[in-house]
Structure 1
Amino acid sequence: MKNDIHRSFEKIKAEEELKEKTREAVLKRLDERPRQKRGIYRFSAALAAAAFVLFFGIGSYQIYFSESSYIDLDVNPSIELSVNRFERVIRVSAYNQDGKEVLSGLDLKHKSYKDAVSILLKKIKKKGYLKKDGIISVTVQGKKSVKSSEIKELHTEIDQCVSGHEVEVYAVSKTVKKKSHHWNVSPAKYLAIKELQRVDQTATVETCRDHSISEIKDYTKKCEDEHGKDQQQGQQGHHRHGSHHDH
């Protein structure tokens, strides 16, 4: 029975040799596809997928097309990349209209997530979405815990791609990802809105979703400053009242 379990496990396990063969035989081929011939590519991709199943089995095919992590990019165009365990993009979606415009004409599937992020940022910058004082917010949520080294590496990649801009890259929990997905906003924007609600209880996801994270954070700071002034004035008034009472 122990041997049967071992064989069953090995049947679906992606070994190092399989990973390398997969990268060389399928992913590299997909990376080199002609961009102009989209119709031909779709047919070729279907053949590649079929070949993948034949050579590596249905279990391995399912492994390749299973999400291992999610990378969400928000500059106001808000975009989600679903990434497999081979660090390849298997699905792409936009949270808003700006995101859809950025994705229009791009084919990011089967690219490494680093290449995909680089391509997205270049187009975002080209289309004028990346303001001088804007923030590039990137969150990572993985089925396994995200290593700090992976966050640092992604941060470095983004810095090299669009230097001179404020960049924040951090991991988020499955709960945050799920809640942000419910509201159809990126995790970074969801957290920015929650922070705003701490100082402005009238703020809602609906009223804030179309604003950039930079705008939301600026407004949060403004509310915090006003709240601080109100507290200071209240304390001064209390002291004046106490002095008058002593006399």
Structure 2
Amino acid sequence: MKKGVIMEVDERFLTLLTPEGEFLRARNQKQDYLIGEEIDFFPLSENKKKKSLFFNLTPGKALPAAACAVIIAAASLIPFNNSDDVYAYMSIDVNPSIELAVNNELEVIDLEAYNVEGKNILSEIKDWEHQEVSVVTTNIIEEIREQGFFENHDKVVISTVYDDKKALKVKQQLEANIAEIEEKIEKENLQLTVVKATKQERKAAHKEGISTGVYKEKHQRAEEKVKEELEGKKDSLKGEEKEEKNEGKTPNQSKGNVKTEEKKAKDAKKIENIEKKKENQKNQKPKQSKNDDKDVKKKENKRNNSKNEVEVKKTGDDDPKDNDNHKVRNEKKNKDQNKDKNKNKDRYKDKEKNKDKDKDKNKNNDKKNKQKDHQEKKDND
């Protein structure tokens, strides 16, 4: 373990200046670091040592605080060697899941495992730092084979994530290396899938604790399932349409036929109700108006008066006995006429009563018919 002052902080590494004047790199432990802060750290074993431009101190001598401050200020103006900057990430997934960080020279500068199997593989990989990515990848695949993972899995997924702000040459060179890796994998009768991902997808994968390749495969499978479900629904709808066409009916026609059948049923019920009303009206007696009854009474009175006048003319005025007889006859006739009138009145009253009864019957029948019609409408609805 050494002590050093933090000179630079990036996503994976810290650059530190030791009291001996060495520039060393250490892994970023995802803590809150401050430039100029002095910390204890473990230097990377194969990191190249860089001497300070200002001091050449012998071991054991501490760097004065003032000199340290000057070096920090000056270091901010001096560009560091960018051979340890990450230009691309490449993940390898079989069952072990491993990610490689690559610099601008296509050298592996960091390895990270995303599961226990991946950690077991990396524990057997030696001297990988600043080795070419194709060499390290080949060593990883050979170690995966030796540990027997290809007995159950013959599929290899390689995902790549590039830093778009940096040189495009790295992207082209890495793709060429992946093509070489693909040839080697195919010779070993393994299936290779190459997936391209973005920085956002890589961050999302890290949040889930998986590699970018596993993340992409997971979401691609989900998308394929959704597409299959949609295609299945479309095929089922097409199948239904074909069946209806084979029957000589389109879907719209079948719906229209259902509606016409319902209308026919309603019309048939309406016709039955109308016929019932007609039958009820036929069974009822014809109604006579009051004016017709009055006309009948007037005609009867006229006939009676005309008969009396004729009889008076026949009897004459000469014979008093005849006149007496005539009076008696007239009185009898008048009595008979009054009786007839009373009978007619009684008949008229009976007729009126019968009319009222018929009216009540008709009203009851109308109410029953209306209730039936209303209930039938509800049933139809």
TM-score past 0.5 threshold: yes
Q: Does the 8 A contact of 2:98 with 2:111 survive in 1? A: yes
Secondary structure of the 2:124 match is coil
Q: Which runs of 5+ in 2 are unaligned?
A: 1-41, 55-74, 255-381
- The change in CA–CA distance for 1:159 and 1:133 in structure 2 (over 3 A counts) is farther
Matched, 1:84 2:103: yes
- Residue 113 (structure 1) aligned to one of 108, 122, 133: 133
Given residue 169 of structure 1, which amino acid in structure 2 is its aligned partner? V
- Residue 142 (structure 2) aligned to one of 122, 127, 139: 122
- State how far apart, in whole Å, the 2-side matches of 1:69 and 1:56 are: 31
1:9-39 Cα offsets, whole Å, 9 max, x none, are xxxxxxxxxxxxxxxxxxxxxxxxxxxxxxx
- State how far apart, in whole Å, the 1-side matches of 2:172 and 2:83 are: 24
- Residue 94 (structure 2) aligned to one of 60, 72, 75: 75
Q: In terms of mean alpha carbon deviation, does 110-119 or 181-190 score higher?
A: 181-190
Matched, 1:237 2:262: no
Q: Does the 8 A contact of 1:132 with 1:165 survive in 2? A: no
Q: Does the 8 A contact of 1:155 with 1:167 survive in 2? A: no
- State how far apart, in whole Å, the 2-side matches of 1:233 and 1:194 are: 26
- The change in CA–CA distance for 1:55 and 1:123 in structure 2 (over 3 A counts) is farther
- State how far apart, in whole Å, the 2-side matches of 1:56 and 1:100 are: 39
Matched, 1:49 2:67: no
Secondary structure of the 2:174 match is helix
1:100-124 Cα offsets, whole Å, 9 max, x none, are 1211232322222111101000011
Q: Which residue of 2 aligns with 1:159?
A: 183
- State how far apart, in whole Å, the 2-side matches of 1:127 and 1:44 are: 28
Q: Does the 8 A contact of 1:79 with 1:94 survive in 2? A: yes
User: How many residues in Structure 1 have an aligned counterpart in Structure 2?
Assistant: 181
- State how far apart, in whole Å, the 1-side matches of 2:173 and 2:205 are: 25
- State how far apart, in whole Å, the 1-side matches of 2:53 and 2:113 are: 32
Give the number of the structure whose alpha-carbon radius of gyration is greater: 2
- State how far apart, in whole Å, the 1-side matches of 2:220 and 2:242 are: 31
Secondary structure of the 1:91 match is strand
Say which structure, 1 or 2, has more relative contact order (CA 8 Å, 6+ apart). Answer: 1
Distance apart, 1:170 and its partner CA? 4.4
Distance apart, 1:187 and its partner CA? 1.9
- State how far apart, in whole Å, the 2-side matches of 1:185 and 1:56 are: 43
Given residue 128 of structure 1, which amino acid in structure 2 is its aligned partner? G
- State how far apart, in whole Å, the 2-side matches of 1:56 and 1:152 are: 39
- The change in CA–CA distance for 1:64 and 1:119 in structure 2 (over 3 A counts) is same
Q: In terms of mean alpha carbon deviation, does 145-154 or 103-112 score higher?
A: 145-154
Given residue 236 of structure 1, which amino acid in structure 2 is its aligned partner? G
TM-score normalised by length of structure 2? 0.41
Distance apart, 1:93 and its partner CA? 0.6
Distance apart, 1:140 and its partner CA? 1.9
Q: Which residue of 1 aligns with 2:212?
A: 187
Q: In terms of mean alpha carbon deviation, does 106-115 or 73-82 score higher?
A: 106-115
- State how far apart, in whole Å, the 2-side matches of 1:133 and 1:121 are: 12
Q: Which residue of 2 aligns with 1:14?
A: none
Q: Which residue of 1 aligns with 2:200?
A: 175
- State how far apart, in whole Å, the 2-side matches of 1:228 and 1:170 are: 25
Q: In terms of mean alpha carbon deviation, does 75-84 or 128-137 score higher?
A: 128-137
Distance apart, 1:242 and its partner CA? 5.3
Distance apart, 1:72 and its partner CA? 0.9
Q: Does the 8 A contact of 2:106 with 2:174 survive in 1? A: no
Q: Does the 8 A contact of 1:151 with 1:171 survive in 2? A: no
Q: Which residue of 1 aligns with 2:115?
A: 96
Q: Which runs of 5+ in 1 are unaligned?
A: 1-41, 202-222
Q: Which residue of 2 aligns with 1:8?
A: none
Q: Aligned residues: percent identity? A: 19
- Residue 162 (structure 2) aligned to one of 142, 146, 168: 142
TM-score normalised by length of structure 1? 0.60
Given residue 186 of structure 1, which amino acid in structure 2 is its aligned partner? S
Q: Which residue of 2 aligns with 1:208?
A: none
